[in-house]
Amino acid sequence: MANRRDSRIEPSFEGPPQARSSAGLSANEEDRVVPSNRKASAKRKPAKGKSSRSGRGRSRRGLFGVFGRLFYWCFVLAIWGGIAAAGIVVYYGAKMPAATTWSIPDRAPNIKIVSADGQLLANRGMSGGEAVGLHEMSPYIPEAVIAIEDRRFYSHFGIDPIGLSRAMVTNVIGGHFSQGGSTLTQQLAKNLFLTPDRTLERKVQEVLLALWLEHKHTKDQILEMYLNRVYFGSGAYGVEAASRRYFGKSARDVTLSEAALLAGLLKAPSRLSPARDPKAAEERSQLVLAAMRDEGKISAKELTSAMSAPATRAPSYWTGSENYVADTIMEELPDLIGDVRGDIVVDSTVDLNLQKIAEQSIRRLIDDSGKKLNVSQGALVSIDDSGAVRAMVGGYDYSTSQFDRASEARRQPGSAFKPFVYMAALEAGRTPDSMRNDAPIKIGNWTPDNYGGKYFGKVTLATALAKSLNSVAAQLTMEVGPNAVVEAAHRMGIQSDLQSNTSIALGTSEVTPLELTSAYVPFANGGYKPDIHFIRRVTTTEGKVLYDSGGGSAPRVVKPEIVGMMNSMMTGTVEIGTARKAAFAWPSAGKTGTSQNSRDAWFVGYTANLTTGVWFGNDDGSPMKKVTGGALPAQAWHEFMVAAHEGVPVRPLPGTWKSTPADTIVPDEIPSANNSPPAPVPSASVGQSAARPAAPVAQAPTPVRAVRPAQTVDADGLSMPEDNGATASIKHPVPPGDVGGPRKKRQTSILDILGGG
């Protein structure tokens, strides 16, 4: 019953406690059914766990929502950024010419100047060096450039996204621009087509052009164009110019350490140039070597070797006297071929070996005696019988002074001008045996003193020229007139303006070493005046001939007999006169010259092979310490000519002249400059080792004539016209010249003296 009652009662106790109390029943907390409480409790517990999981889910959903929204907006921004970038590209691209019209601009033409035997003298032009094929240059050069500048060059399509991103991150972190993301293709595009301005427009155009280059050309072609055009500092464009500039060698012969130095310059060519900062250039080259090792371009052994043997830098920029020749050639070139539109090769007349010998001689003499004798500059010009310049040194050091003293500096030649005075006198009828009284004379307010104040009395013209007697030269100028002397000098090759006065006898009018030397050439080649030239031929790199000197013909400017007499007289200068230091195993002749106070010292001499002129002095015209033409100039001439004639068959000087023995000479009836008794007359026999005293006239021996052999000089291919007795450009009658015979006395008035006639 109880159980049934309990079972009946249980369902009725569902109301609140108040209801149960009103029914007469009471229940405490223990009387409640436990399972019911457990179920409620159980229901409540799961509800708590579900709430926790729901919170975590809401947190996750919130985090994903943030990233989702961020991703969404980034995507949106990327789309709009892409649209904006495309718009910018289209805008700036539209401002460029049509892609179908794009073409690689011509490289600045290079002018390669080579010596007569094919050795490189210099490169001239904007590039400063010839183009070198990728397969021709040292393989270290492209490897070094790629390793340090664009290591993914062969894998990207003209733009390197990885390199660009890396550069952007580095620049943002660093807070300043320290790295560039441009590829070699982009750099080439900039160099070929664009300005260096850092603008958005230029950058966009650079990218478009880089893509075009990659489409039109292979990687090797792009790399070759880049290496032949990029700037390496110190005026060098392209690897060939840079290799010549910094190492004095071709890009074909560059070593690993030298290639690393060149590649390192590309970051900052002017700042890192070894000519400016050798230490910075070396440090940068070591970074390049390390990059090459990281890329597997070189082995550890090669790295160690290159690190321990750094690049050897050339001593100076464009050093070498051959650059004086190159500068002169560059001035002449436009008149021969016009504008240079492509790479050309200029075959010069210069012998580079002789050029080096001449330079060494000039520098050695100045180094040895410069301070002691107060001489700082020198010049040398050597010309063969055809007019080809074989060597020309324009100063002590080209790298410190590019002023060419050989072709540009006009200086007083002093007594080196006297041959034209004597030539005019011979053309007027005098001979080497003609007598003059060497004594103090006065012409107006001018007194032409001899060097050292020494006078010899009665002398022949041959002796007067050999001993460079000023008073005799002045007398001859008065006799023939200054105009005749000026005309003779211009006819022989002097181009400068000459003052037509009596003092011209002593070389007071200024000339250049080049023109003075060229004016002696007719004495050496038999009387012909060739065109003086430095260029034999000009060709393109493909071999097309643009200019060829072709030899040509030269006019006769002096008669053979005059040439013979002049050569006989000037031989005495070398054998018994003021230029004895110049003598060597070849028959030679010439004339020394020294201007007032030893400001200029000259010797111009010649053989049948070469005519060479040498000058020493100072740019500011300050006097040297008693330096004469027979000292330093004659020594330099001797050194050069001995080397130039080594192994060359000996040839006599051209021309024939028969000398009359002194005991049969009847002197010209020219009044003495003083009333003193005549001094003993030296022998007129020029070419002997010493002068012999005059024999008494009473002995009257049978005349014995010394005959100089005739020699025909063809000037190494120069066409010499047949002599028909005419002398080109002579504007006054030439007397026959009675050799050794008396002349009718000429009355000289004071007007003649004052007027220089």
Residues acting as catalytic residues: 149, 415
Give the Å distances, CA to CA, from 3 to 8, 9, 19, 24: 8, 10, 22, 19
> Which of 591, 627, 605 has the alpha carbon at shortest distance from 416?
591
Give the Å distances, CA to CA, from 583 to 613, 635, 653, 689, 711: 14, 9, 14, 12, 20
| Amino acid in the structure at residue 206 | E
Q: Are 681 and 663 in contact (CB under 8 A)?
A: no
Q: Are 171 and 177 in contact (CB under 8 A)?
A: yes
How is the chain split among helix, strand and coil, in percent rounded to 5?
45, 10, 45
Q: How far apart are CA 451 and CA 243, in angstroms?
A: 52
Q: What is the DSSP letter of 626?
A: S
State which H helix or E strand residue 670 sits in: none
> Which of 459, 413, 456 has the alpha carbon at shortest distance from 436?
459
> Which of 484, 473, 511 has the alpha carbon at shortest distance from 519?
511
| Amino acid in the structure at residue 170 | T
Sequential DSSP letters for 375-444: --EEEEEEEETTSBEEEEE-SS-TTT----TTTT--B--GGGGHHHHHHHHHHTT--TT-EEEES---BT
Q: How far apart are CA 89 and CA 91, in angstroms?
A: 5
Sign of CA dihedral 14, 16, 19, 25: positive
**308: phi then psi, degrees, rounded to nearest 5:** -85, -15
The total of other beta-carbon atoms located within 10 Å of residue 246's CB is: 26
Q: How far apart are CA 464 and CA 657, in angstroms?
A: 18
